[in-house]
Amino acid sequence: MAMSINADDCTTCGACECECPSKAIRMKGGVYVIDPQKCTECEGVAAAPQCDDVCPSGAIAKAA
């Protein structure tokens, strides 16, 4: 599983991009996206996904 960003809720602040240890987050077409092939949900690095912890708008959640 991977994390995903709800583009409607994202404020494009960029906090998640620099926090991602897997470098799975990038700006694409004016919004941030998470590459599910790279996202590890920070397993083995942190107790919880770091992108979700730093997101001020709550736009990040586990992908369905």
Average pLDDT for the chain: 96
Look-up of token digits 């690095």: 45
13-26 pLDDT per residue, tens: 999 999 999 999 99
Would you call 52 helix, strand, or coil by DSSP? helix
The number of domains in the chain is 1
Question: For the chain, how many residues are written?
Answer: 64
Owning domain of residue 33: 3-62
CATH number of 22's domain: 3.30.70.20
- Residue 20's nearest CA partner among 47, 52, 44 is 52
Output the pTM of the full model: 0.92
